[in-house]
Amino acid sequence: MKDLPIIIGGFYRTGTSLVRRLLDAHSRIHCGPEVKFFKDFYGDYLNDELHHVRLFSTLSSLGLMEEEMLSIFGQAFIKSHELAARKAGKVRWADKNPENVLYLKQWEQLLPGGFVFLQIVRNPLDALASLKEMGFYKTVPPAFADKARLLVAFREAGAAYAARHPESSLTLRYEDIVRTPHATLEYLFSRLGETFEPEVLERFSLPERGEGIEDPKVKLTQSVHDRGIGRWRQDLTQEEIYAARSILGDTDAEFPA
């Protein structure tokens, strides 16, 4: 998997922003803030009053088919990543978007030479508690049960792809990253075909990582910590916990306290 692009996905609030900063802190990998290419391409937003005048909503009036537009603008997106990596003095690039788990078929079209799929998972109750705090009202439905159903859809999409492509897929748990960062990152970079650089645990928080549409808290974090584990016990109501478990099933075995 050495030198292949890295496509990072997961659900919202599962630690994808932290992972992208850790990867970007590596001397060979460029992983900048999120660029919402596929979400813009498909107009995948909630209650977008300007959807009808967006670029990709109006291009079809030129007589272009969806596959043609994806080829044209998708290749420009890839070249943007490649150029950004070169400008940063890096030889490899990664794209981080939680929604990448939903667009892996399209990534296969744009990257016929292959890529590494890196899925980040987290205790769903903690992810939902964090998402409840952040909102993301243009992206995530307002009802708590609908948030839980969306989480299931993300998890199932990522897991299905990883099952079909085990040789080029890797799943990391947020809990392992924050509890045993050195060992987990050593494993991650080994699987990516890279040398583990312990300095990434210090460099991930530097301003050179850039800023964008990601967790506003992550840029203020100076060290990897596990204080977010178990937050659902304080942040979710009993009704929300019941609703989540009704939809998600028992998560205690996969994510022990």
3-state secondary structure (DSSP) of residue 10? strand
- Per-residue confidence (pLDDT) for residue 228, from 0 to 100: 87
Read off the pLDDT of each residue in 204-212 and give the average, rounded to a whole number.
Answer: 86
Residue 97 has pLDDT above 70, yes or no: yes
Indicate the domain borders of the chain. 6-35+89-248
Q: Alpha carbon of 228 to those of 120, 208, 225: distances in Å?
A: 15, 25, 8
- Per-residue confidence (pLDDT) for residue 77, from 0 to 100: 97
3-state secondary structure (DSSP) of residue 220? helix
3-state secondary structure (DSSP) of residue 252? coil
Residue 80 has pLDDT above 70, yes or no: yes
Residue 56: both structure tokens together: 């990709």
Least confident of 110-119, 211-220, 240-249: 211-220
Q: Alpha carbon of 222 to those of 22, 185, 225: distances in Å?
A: 12, 17, 9
Please tell me the pTM assigned to this model: 0.93
Residue 163: both structure tokens together: 């099952």
pLDDT band, residue 46 (cuts 50/70/90): confident
- Per-residue confidence (pLDDT) for residue 99, from 0 to 100: 96
Residue-wise pLDDT tens digits, 13-22 = 999 999 999 9
Which phi and psi (to 5°) does residue 112 adopt?
A: -65, -20
Least confident of 62-66, 106-110, 212-216: 212-216
Class of residue 218 by CB neighbours under 10 A (exposed 0-12, middle 13-18, buried 19+): middle
Mean pLDDT of the chain, nearest integer: 91
Under 8 Å CB-to-CB from 38, ≥6 apart: which residues? 44, 97, 99, 100, 102, 103, 106
CATH class assigned to 6-35+89-248: alpha beta
